[in-house]
Amino acid sequence: CRIRHYHFNVVVKNATKLCSTKPIVTVNGKFPGPRLYAREGDNVLVRLTNHVQYNVTIHWHGVRQLRTGWSDGPAYITQCPIQPGQNFLYNFTLTGQRGTLLWHAHISWLRSTVHGAIVILPKKGVPYPFPKPYKEKVIVLGEWWKADTEAVVNQATQTGLPPNISDAHTINGHPGPVPNCSSDDAHTLHVETGKTYLLRVINAAVNDELFFKIANHNLTVVEVDACYTKPFETDTLFLGPGQTTTALLKADQGIGKYLIAISPFMDTIVAVDNLTGIGYLRYNHTLAFTPTTFVTIPAVNATPVTSVFSDSLRSLNSKQYPANVPLTIDHSLFFTIGVGINPCATCFNGSRAVAAINNVSFVMPTTAILQAHYYGINGVFTDDFPAKPAIPFNYTGTPPSGLQTMNGTKVYRLAYNSTVQLVIQGNTIIAPESHPTHLHGSNFFVVGRGVGNFDPEKDPLKFNLVDPVERNTVSVPTAGWTAIRFRADNPGVWFFHCHLEVHTTWGLKMAFLVENGKGPNESIEPPPSDLPKC
Ligand code: C2O
């Protein structure tokens, strides 16, 4: 195993998209940011230096951070922000993982421009469990606002209304042909006939689950969220923000230019955001005129496409990569998640949108919870996060009237190495929506999903405890539920939240506190000496 050194300089850079130029916050002046390459088992050292006027932190989304929670990155959860002019060394080891992940800023909405790929190759000499590809290509999907994203989030928090939707979706930073703008700013993937490529597709969008499709080409999914899957063929990928899908692409056409399209999924009418991002798959040939083959994108509300994709995902569960699904449960949790309305004197119409888990809208503390826990600082958080809703209701029917959320900085305690079953139930208090939910510090197994209210008698009988997909972010279907299981084998404080940034901002988040055990590997390592102060 090696040590991999990276320098992340956070700097402002002018970027031109959609025929207009604006300054954006970047790492090393790049959008998307630099790719981090390593092998399983490597120690990664990233020296981050903050040259901008904003506070910054970086999260290595999906990296387990076994006992190194100080490097996980969510601001005020595991660390205080790195202030302007300061630097911090992120130091972690890639233990027991290989595949595609992403890193992104984890403070305010900076991740809209501060993100990039993480590629974890298998250990030297260990082959992929699928045919070796000719070449590998990283594809980062993003979202672009003409306005400054800080202004977009401020508008939302001040008015209590949803933020403005983005102006484009991008493929490796490029939106494709832009109406009323002469430039065709599109990403092109060059391929040779007869070769097989490994596409590492990452959804780094801020607020959109996305479909990904290439005209006339099927894809064979082999891994999601850095966990191998049983290979399956599909013409459409579906990824929530924070999710990754690695798939084999056989370049089996002769000549031509084929459209690559990404488009949002939204099966409710909350916002009409149906901008398609376009790129090209282009065969290597010398024809002067290249015919373009178009692609039919799924409808914005194509729920069945998302269900078929999710239901096709299975852990590889081979001898070498077994699915260690917890078969007994120490903590059985039920979280109802969604968006509601609270009174707000200063907001438009006297109310504001809030989002909550079990009716608790999470309030960010001003000191990092992990620090408060480690040093025993009182008054930063309470450990009374409810294991289930205080007042059960018909989650997917007409909501009880006058349901207000309470505010709190609450965590849920898990004993080290205990097992957890968590049923995440989407509710319809204002509008049902699909929520891509993400857990830090552990992967989980997705043992079941369904529409309507979860039935605690019948639904568990249908759980897949043999080869459920393992991942770190999962979509909870609109007015439906998803059940996950994991082992709390990583001491620390681990954020759990909707990865639609607008919902995180509104409070759809909480944290698990995995208590220190007594054995040598059961407690978090001491904090690094350069850990930023609040
Ligand atoms: Cu990728 Cu807490 O997020």
Ligand 1, residue 111: give the atom nearest the CA. Answer: 1
Residues pairing with 509 in the sheet: 497
SS3 209: strand
Q: What pLDDT score was predicted for residue 155?
A: 85
> Is residue 74 in contact with ligand 1, taking CB distance under 6 Å?
yes
List the Cα angle 99/449/266 in 5-degree steps: 80
Instruction: Copy the structure tokens of residue 418.
Output: 């205990």
Phi-psi region of 222 (alpha: psi -120 to 50; beta: other; left: phi over 0): alpha
Distance from the alpha carbon of residue 103 to the mean position of ligand 1, in angstroms: 9
Distance from the alpha carbon of residue 294 to the mean position of ligand 1, in angstroms: 34
Same domain, 85 and 19: yes
SS3 24: strand
**Inter-residue contact 487 to 421 (CB < 8 Å):** no
Same domain, 153 and 55: no
Alpha carbon of 1 to those of 4, 44, 124, 309, 319: distances in Å?
Answer: 10, 10, 9, 35, 23
Name the strands in the sheet holding 470-471, side by side, starting at the edge strand that comes first in the sequence.
Answer: 406-408, 360-362, 351-357, 331-343, 419-426, 480-487, 444-451, 470-471
Same domain, 472 and 340: yes
529 domain-assigned: no
Distance from the alpha carbon of residue 495 to the mean position of ligand 1, in angstroms: 8
**Unique residue bearing structure tokens 């989650």:** 395
> Is residue 440 in contact with ligand 1, taking CB distance under 6 Å?
yes
Q: What pLDDT score was predicted for residue 270?
A: 56
Asked which of 261, 289, 314 is the last residue of a domain, the reply is 314
Same domain, 150 and 170: yes
Q: What is the ipTM of this complex?
A: 0.99
Distance from the alpha carbon of residue 239 to the mean position of ligand 1, in angstroms: 14
Query: What is the tally of structural domains in the chain?
Result: 3
Q: What pLDDT score was predicted for residue 382?
A: 98
521 domain-assigned: no
190 domain-assigned: yes
Strands 244-250 and 196-203, bridge-based pairing: antiparallel
Same domain, 34 and 69: yes
Asked which of 63, 96, 126 is the last residue of a domain, the reply is 126
Through-space distance between the first and last CA atoms of the chain, rounded to whole angstroms: 35
Distance from the alpha carbon of residue 178 to the mean position of ligand 1, in angstroms: 30
> Is residue 240 in contact with ligand 1, taking CB distance under 6 Å?
no
Same domain, 119 and 134: no
Same domain, 221 and 297: yes
Ligand 1, residue 440: give the atom nearest the CA. Answer: 2
Q: What pLDDT score was predicted for residue 136?
A: 98
Same domain, 68 and 158: no
Of 277, 266, 250, 242, which is closest to residue 194 (Cα–Cα)? 250
> Is residue 104 in contact with ligand 1, taking CB distance under 6 Å?
yes
> Is residue 64 in contact with ligand 1, taking CB distance under 6 Å?
no
Ligand 1, residue 104: give the atom nearest the CA. Answer: 1
Distance from the alpha carbon of residue 107 to the mean position of ligand 1, in angstroms: 10
325 domain-assigned: no
**From atom 3 of ligand 1, which residue's Cα is the shortest distance away?**
61
Ligand 1, residue 62: give the atom nearest the CA. Answer: 1
> Is residue 61 in contact with ligand 1, taking CB distance under 6 Å?
yes
Asked which of 76, 91, 126 is the last residue of a domain, the reply is 126
**Inter-residue contact 421 to 451 (CB < 8 Å):** no
Query: In whole angstroms, how large is the CA radius of gyration of the chain?
Result: 22
SS (H, E, C) 52-66: CCCCECEEEECCCCC
What CATH number is attached to the domain comprising 337? 2.60.40.420
Rounded Cα distance, 260 and 188, in Å: 9
Distance from the alpha carbon of residue 74 to the mean position of ligand 1, in angstroms: 7
324 domain-assigned: no
List the Cα angle 528/530/532 in 5-degree steps: 105
Distance from the alpha carbon of residue 118 to the mean position of ligand 1, in angstroms: 14
> Is residue 111 in contact with ligand 1, taking CB distance under 6 Å?
no
Same domain, 66 and 156: no
Same domain, 26 and 106: yes
Alpha-helical (H) ranges within 284-393 are 303-312, 369-375
Of 516, 493, 490, which is closest to residue 95 (Cα–Cα)? 490
Question: pTM for the complete prediction?
Answer: 0.97
Distance from the alpha carbon of residue 496 to the mean position of ligand 1, in angstroms: 8
Distance from the alpha carbon of residue 207 to the mean position of ligand 1, in angstroms: 12
**Unique residue bearing structure tokens 């194509």:** 302
> Is residue 115 in contact with ligand 1, taking CB distance under 6 Å?
no
Average pLDDT for runs of 10 along the chain of length 534: 96 94 97 98 98 98 98 98 98 97 97 98 97 98 93 84 89 88 86 97 96 97 98 98 98 92 86 80 80 88 96 98 98 95 87 93 97 96 97 88 89 97 92 93 98 97 98 97 98 97 95 86 93 96
Residue 156 host element (H or E)? helix 149-159
Kindly compute the dihedral angle of the four CA atoms of residues 274, 275, 281, 282, in this order, to the nearest 10 degrees. 140
Identify the domain containing residue 220 by its residue range: 130-314
321 domain-assigned: no
Ligand 1, residue 495: give the atom nearest the CA. Answer: 2
Size (the chain), residues: 534
Of 136, 144, 57, which is closest to residue 103 (Cα–Cα)? 57
> Is residue 497 in contact with ligand 1, taking CB distance under 6 Å?
yes
Same domain, 335 and 205: no
Same domain, 120 and 210: no
